[in-house]
Amino acid sequence: MAEHVVVIGAGVYGAAVSAALLRRGARVTVVDAGAPGGGTSGATFSWLNSCGKQPRAYHDLNVAGMAAHRKLAAETPHSDWYHEGGNLEWTDDEADLAQLREKVTRVLGYGYEARWLTRSELLRLEPDLDPAGLPADDIAYFPREGWLEPTRMIAYLLAGADVVRGDAVTGLDVTGERVRAVALASGQRLAADAVVNCAGPRAADIAALAGLTFPMRNTSGTLVYTSPVAVAVSRVVHAPRVHLRPDGAGRLLLHGHDEAAAEKVFADACALYPGIGAATVESVRVGERPIPGDGLPVLGRAEALPNFHFAVSHSGATLSVHAGDLVAAEVMGADVTDALAPFRFERF
């Protein structure tokens, strides 16, 4: 059993792993080159879902992730970082519509909640949408999906951990097939019984310090944050040219593809919800999404370095609480082989 664990990265994964380790009696030091939640977790659409996740093992992991968020929110006073309002999706392209139909059929076969809405049914849920821009039917609705305010959850989960901010990891002391210590830019050296790589987009760099080659294909996405606006957006909305959701205090979060210009993202949102035109753009962030080479999570210990563990994936907002708990359990000696087998580092 590891007594002192160094967790690298203070985003949603680092915070979730840290909280799970603390519950199991470990002493935890979380180190981050910046501030907690200041990297990918602070520039993410943070959509909680599993409607499009393949293969089945990955879908099931995300469903468990959604359930873990639901449970954490139910058990935690003032946990209003969690919002379960559902997700709406439609398209104006025939090929995309065929894929959407296939997706809905597949997840219904898995027992996942989904149904089709007409335009009038959609407008009862989201009355401020422009009807002229909506299809007559074939609107997919996934009612148990939702979204997260990640930085608020991170603050809660990090309580009790020793957090080192603004101090990048510059080296790992590896001897005898074990990581013995973590070196920081400040010159500080942290002795460790185990290390967990939760470094998000920089996870490959941390793995390289341990002598491991970790293929990643990170991508970016534009996030546009509006001023408060009197528009009734209550759910995650995936329209053909823009994705959006509420972001608290009357603000909206708009999501564009790759590095789309903020002006275009905002214009597309205004076409969808005309009332958004009364808002202004308060800020724009380009978030870097950590994606392992085959798109699936990398979770758990490295076979060649058994006290070096991974918690890295796309869909980190959805997976963090559940997958973080699995990784922490393995760090502390539990056998979670069945749960983590499809997501081991060694598949590369």
Kindly list the strands in the beta sheet with 169-175, ordered across the sheet, starting from the edge strand earlier in the chain.
169-175, 178-184, 189-191
Cβ-based burial of 335 (10 A; exposed 0-12, middle 13-18, buried ≥19):
exposed
Same-fold call for 4-45+151-217+292-347 versus 87-143+219-289: no
Asked if residue 83 lies in contact with residue 283, where contact means CB atoms within 8 angstroms, the answer is: no
Cβ-based burial of 98 (10 A; exposed 0-12, middle 13-18, buried ≥19):
exposed
Residue 113: the pLDDT is: 98
3-state secondary structure at position 106:
helix
Residue 258: the pLDDT is: 58
Look up the pTM and report it.
Answer: 0.96
Which CATH entry fits the domain spanning 4-45+151-217+292-347: 3.40.190.10, 2.40.50.140, 3.50.50.60, 3.40.30.10?
A: 3.50.50.60
Asked if residue 336 lies in contact with residue 300, where contact means CB atoms within 8 angstroms, the answer is: yes
Phi and psi of 341, rounded to 5°? -50, -40
Residue extents of the structural domains in the chain: 4-45+151-217+292-347, 87-143+219-289
What's 87-143+219-289's CATH class? alpha beta
Residue 331 Cα distances to 24, 42, 61, 327, angstroms: 10, 26, 19, 6
3-state secondary structure at position 118:
coil
Per-residue pLDDT of the chain (348 residues; tens, 9 = 90+): 789 999 999 999 999 999 999 999 999 999 999 999 999 999 999 999 999 999 999 999 999 999 999 999 999 998 999 999 999 999 999 999 999 999 999 999 999 999 999 999 999 999 999 999 999 999 999 999 999 999 999 999 999 999 999 999 999 999 999 999 999 999 999 999 999 999 999 999 999 999 999 999 999 888 999 999 999 999 999 999 999 999 989 999 999 765 568 899 999 999 999 999 999 999 999 889 999 999 999 999 999 999 999 999 999 999 999 999 999 999 999 999 999 999 999 999
Residues 332 and 289: their CA atoms lie apart, in Å, by 28
Residue 231: the pLDDT is: 96
Residues 215 and 102: their CA atoms lie apart, in Å, by 30
